Chains A and B, each alone.
Chain A
């Protein structure tokens, strides 16, 4: 009965979403307060019923109810409980239900935290959320219903893909979805503003925290996915420019632009058109990402064509939402009143440059991702666009952007002074030169690019923090006053500095690992020692072991540095017998920020020989630590109380404020 209650709740949620997408918007058009006020309660009821539905499906997984087809196809009664629960979203149907659950969660958050929103804006935002919910609930119920029953129930399930039976994939999709779906709020705000034909002053203040939250989740999701691919796939790479990765990276690039654009709009009422367009495009790319991953179009264009129901449905959702919102934008953008004016060289101007570079680099990623699909669809020819393409197109656009980042916070609003900013950045510039020289010396005249990359990273990190120091005016005010001033700086200022420094940290990791990494592939026999970078690795012995549902070939190795034992390493190759699926288990030793990465390759002819791939990866963990630092910056900024929109003040206080400002 519980399963059917979940099914019924999902249908009820669809009916509620239909009301949500019509009633508040009619209310906003007619200025009907009662109708507008309905949006919030419906959004909360929506969350309740979608939540109930998700709980029912989880329950079916936990009790191994194989009369539910979805559970039968993706679970097994002997699977550990953790993977029974994560199996709920480890498959297409369940993950779409999770998508809608998160959508409902965000809608309910607008209802709860949006008490101070102007009534008509709130009504329109919830209405647009209702449209998205209707589209995805219909998609689930028509093409991907997780509650389809089977009678009689099969006795045993078909189990989950062993690669997905990993703690990394238990957390990665929900984080990614929180990011994707979080941008639906920015989208709903943008479309609501276009429907109204005016943008409230508070609009950007409202959009910014949602965008920031979504951006933090997306950053976490992407970097988590990257680390998972790094340790599980066994190729030693941390980014493959794979279409699935690009699908999540594109909304991140545009979301970053949106974030900065919204700041300008909030403080200066400028860049309105940019912000609205970015909000629409960011969510469109989130939808595109969902489409690419969910329709099966990536595995093969032809697989998509043979089972088109799902793909065509998502394609229709894409057309309606992207096409519709862009049409609305074209019709209404002209009506958006222009805000504050600014000189080309100014904080605003710097952020326009930031928008342009991020959007253009996102466009190159889009081309590199979709071109092979289009080509295969038209001519049937299969090509893959990989790192060389992106290094030539994406890289050259990122470098000027990264060089410009420290300037941004130094430029004043409305009219900036590049010379003055440069003078204040002298310290950072000196640090960058020193870092370049030191790196060049330490690598004993090694690759020049590496030294320059290290210099750029130092430029970003020192530049980010020197802005704080300058703002605190230590030089004029002395240490004590300076510290007091520093503590008095708004948290958003710290957030900016920390996030920009995080970018520098990630860059340092990328430069370190891509220019200084040492790789060695060789055939080893027991007793043999190989040198890899700063280490000697001895292959002691190999053995075959059995796990609960796999057999594995384990190599026992000892890593030494200058003759001293650093670590015992046990890389392995596993074969999951049920699905005859091989996986590699890399052995990774972390020391400081660097890692020694050993993995077993293809088996060689003789059984006592093993193909071993070894990498000495200097500073590799900085790539992910940097993204943690960026997230910390985002959280700092999110926690800034000034960003919360206050309720309209009573008349008395209202008359006092402009006087004080005069």
Chain B
């Protein structure tokens, strides 16, 4: 409603700007010949100055003066007869009062969206979130981190998502922020190294190598870190060390590990670089183990999904987790994961419900309770 009042006021102002000068009536305008005469007199004065400076010869100046004088006389003769016709001020005013509102409303009604309010970034951030929109989720967290760059949880959420969306530089930045805030941990160092390699188009930079070294040193079971580390060693010509690293991976992997094939492929490159035959014997693997959790196939499928599909998949996973906990509630890690997920997805009601149930379940176990409360705190559920 307010917007229509403003539109009406604007139209009235525009109409007034037209009809007020019309209503002021027929002021006598200075006749054009008077303007001309003023200029001709200026020209005579200018001519005199030019003659003084020698810009025009004496004879030419005389001729020019005669020219200007003739024009002055003509201008005098042209003193026009005042127009005795009636002014069209009234019809013009009526036309303005009709044309302005009609044209404006007619055109605007066709192309405007008068009912649509402004939607500044702030307002969109405050609006209820749409859990299916990954971009929106990212933007929300980003906006949050601009004001609160030390929010560890925010960076934790963003870093892997960036990586999956191919925003590799952003992923690297996010992993660096995590390390800045909590110090290096094996999983984060490994992820940083991987992101750096991907961002550099497969080249293992010095920074990446250092991060991977740190990850492997702190946690020897980091297969992925070992894999990229070996790649880096090979790239910098330390072929023997690279081969040793590949062998180490094989030694630590179950026989049915999905990564063994690519590792063997890379190992053959290391062998070729060393000039050894491609079928040089490799160390024994660990016995096979049934794969658990989201297998490589699921992960690969996730990477190929559109953001909407991926968000749906995340939703589904969270829902399955919630269902499982409803049946088998005695799973502290599961509850923490669920609360964190709801927190990230900005579903505070679900998060507090989950927290309440978890507190209920573990009210006899103060350690677990404290851990769960920490998680709740980290997503801002409780102060």
Contact = CB atoms under 8 A, between A and B. Distances in A.
Interface of A: 1-5, 7-9, 11-12, 14-16, 18-19, 23, 26-27, 30-38, 40-42, 44-45, 49, 60, 63-67, 77-78, 116-121, 141, 145, 147-149, 151, 153-156, 200-202, 205, 267-269, 339-341, 347, 412-415, 471, 490, 544, 546, 549, 551, 577, 642, 645-649, 654, 657-658, 661
Contacts of B96: 19, 23
Contact of A658 (B17, B41, B107, B139): B41
B18 A38 contact: yes
Interface in B133-174: 133, 135-136, 138-140, 142-143, 146, 168-169, 172
Given A41-B18, A155-B135, A34 B24 contact: yes
Interface in B73-108: 75, 83, 85, 87-89, 92, 95-96, 99-100, 103-104, 107-108
A15 B39 contact: no
8 contacts: A4-B112, A16-B18, A31-B83, A32-B87, A414-B57, A471-B53, A648-B38, A657-B45
A35 B86 CA distance: 11
Given A4-B114, A23-B95, A413-B56, 10 more contacts: A32-B26, A34-B92, A38-B92, A77-B139, A155-B140, A200-B35, A471-B55, A551-B169, A661-B41, A661-B44
B346 interface: no
B292 interface: no
Given A65-B118, A202-B36, A661-B65, A155 B46 contact: no
B120 interface: yes
A33 B27 contact: yes
Contact of B14 (A35, A45, A412, A648): A45
Contacts of B57: 412, 414-415
B22 interface: yes
B89 A8 contact: no
Interface string B37-53: 11111111111111001
Nearest to B140: A155
Contacts of A149: 113, 116
Main SS of chain B's interface residues?
helix
Nearest to A656: B41
A12 B104 contact: yes
Given A12-B104, A15-B99, A657 B18 contact: no
A205 B38 CA distance: 12
Nearest to B3: A1
Interface stretch (B5-13, B312-320, B369-377): B5-13
Contacts of A64: 120-121
Contact of A5 (B3, B36, B120): B3
B300 interface: no
B118 A7 contact: no
Given A412-B55, A649-B41, A658 B85 contact: no
Given A15-B103, A649-B41, A8 B87 contact: no
Given A64-B121, A654-B41, A414 B36 contact: no
A386 B112 CA distance: 46
A67 B116 contact: yes
A342 to B, nearest CB: 9
Given A32-B88, A642-B46, A414 B64 contact: yes
B378 interface: no
B116 A413 contact: no
B336 interface: no
A33 B31 CA distance: 11
A37 B40 contact: no
Nearest to A651: B34
